[in-house]
């Protein structure tokens, strides 16, 4: 497939771009910052993005500010920019989207053994509000314009888990590629919201819908458990014991106030 990746210069973007290319996809790397093999474009600018999407089969939209900001900035980064991407897809005739949403769309949900993707949105931050709204925007473009969309509520993407919470929320680079590729190639995709984590023994998000789409995670944060559990518990660990969003639920984490 010919696949455009937005945010290709970011940490997950670099891993996903390289991994998809390694799996035989023709990857068009896009980002605001130009770097080796990355084309510089403001992906929220539909007119600028459209010509770069011609001939693509799908877009993997990873661009967006990964941090908490004001509500206005969150809506801009996640909703306005995603709208620009969706409009460019319609104009260029691209029919499939994999969107990097976040676990913080449901971060204020109290911890329990398994959290399904069809639980009510419960954002922990303005960042989470932006992600919920962007998921809903994707749903509109599925129903109105027939764009197949998979919204991935990504956990903690990193080379390796570092905190107690990461033992449940880690998404390894290899599994990120496997998840995105499953969403790109699933035959019957319409609109779906999935959790994006590795096969963590302590995972609390329901991976069944992702597995049903063809995701076969390999990594498990448990390999790092002994080392991580030997460190003293932090204040952030205590938030992670209560809420799935962990430290994003701290009172001082709401941005722009």
The site string for ligand 15L over 176-195 (x = CB under 6 A, - otherwise) reads: --------------------
**Separation of alpha carbons 175 and 218, rounded Å:** 7
Applying CB under 6 A, does 17 fall inside the site for ligand 15L? no
**Separation of alpha carbons 29 and 52, rounded Å:** 10
Which of 66, 209 has the CB closer to ligand 15L?
66
Q: Look up 127 and say whether it is catalytic.
A: yes
**Separation of alpha carbons 142 and 146, rounded Å:** 5
Among 82, 156, 172, 192, binds ligand 15L (CB under 6 A): 156
Query: In the structure encoding, which two tokens stand for residue 13, read together?
Result: 């973007």
Beta-carbon count within 10 A of 255 CB? 15
**Separation of alpha carbons 255 and 257, rounded Å:** 6
Applying CB under 6 A, does 255 fall inside the site for ligand 15L? no
Among 18, 37, 42, 66, binds ligand 15L (CB under 6 A): 66
- The residue annotated as part of the active site, out of 99, 127, 141, 243, is 127
Closest separation between CB of residue 90 and ligand 15L, Å? 27
Closest separation between CB of residue 96 and ligand 15L, Å? 22
Burial of 230 (0-12, 13-18, 19+ CB in 10 A): exposed
> Any idea of the CA torsion for 66, 67, 69, 74, to the nearest 10 degrees?
20
Within 77-136, which residues bind ligand 15L (CB under 6 A)?
102-104
- By the criterion CB under 6 A, which residues form the site for ligand 15L? 66, 102-104, 154-156, 169
Active site residues: 127
């Amino acid at each position: 497939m010919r696949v455009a990746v937005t945010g290709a210069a970011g940490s997950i973007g670099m891993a996903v771009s390289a991994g998809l290319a390694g799996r035989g996809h023709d990857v068009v790397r896009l980002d605001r910052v130009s770097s080796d093999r990355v084309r510089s474009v403001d992906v929220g600018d539909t007119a600028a993005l459209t010509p770069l999407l011609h001939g693509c089969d799908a877009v993997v939209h990873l661009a967006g500010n990964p941090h908490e900001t004001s509500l206005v900035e969150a809506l801009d980064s996640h909703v306005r920019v995603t709208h620009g991407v969706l409009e460019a897809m319609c104009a260029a005739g691209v029919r499939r989207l994999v969107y990097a949403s976040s676990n913080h769309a449901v971060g204020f949900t109290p911890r329990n053994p398994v959290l399904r993707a069809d639980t009510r949105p419960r954002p922990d931050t303005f960042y989470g509000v932006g992600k919920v709204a962007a998921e809903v925007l994707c749903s509109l473009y599925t129903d109105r314009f027939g764009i197949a969309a998979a919204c991935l509520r990504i956990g903690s993407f990193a080379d390796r888990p570092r905190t107690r919470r990461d033992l449940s929320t880690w998404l390894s680079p290899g599994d990120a590629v496997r998840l995105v590729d499953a969403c790109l190639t699933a035959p019957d995709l319409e609109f779906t919201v999935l959790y994006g984590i590795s096969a963590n023994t302590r995972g609390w998000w329901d991976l069944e819908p992702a597995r049903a789409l063809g995701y076969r995670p390999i990594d498990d944060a448990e390999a790092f458990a002994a080392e991580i559990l030997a460190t003293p518990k932090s204040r952030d660990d205590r938030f992670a014991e209560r809420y799935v969003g962990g430290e994003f639920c701290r009172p001082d984490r709401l941005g722009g106030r």
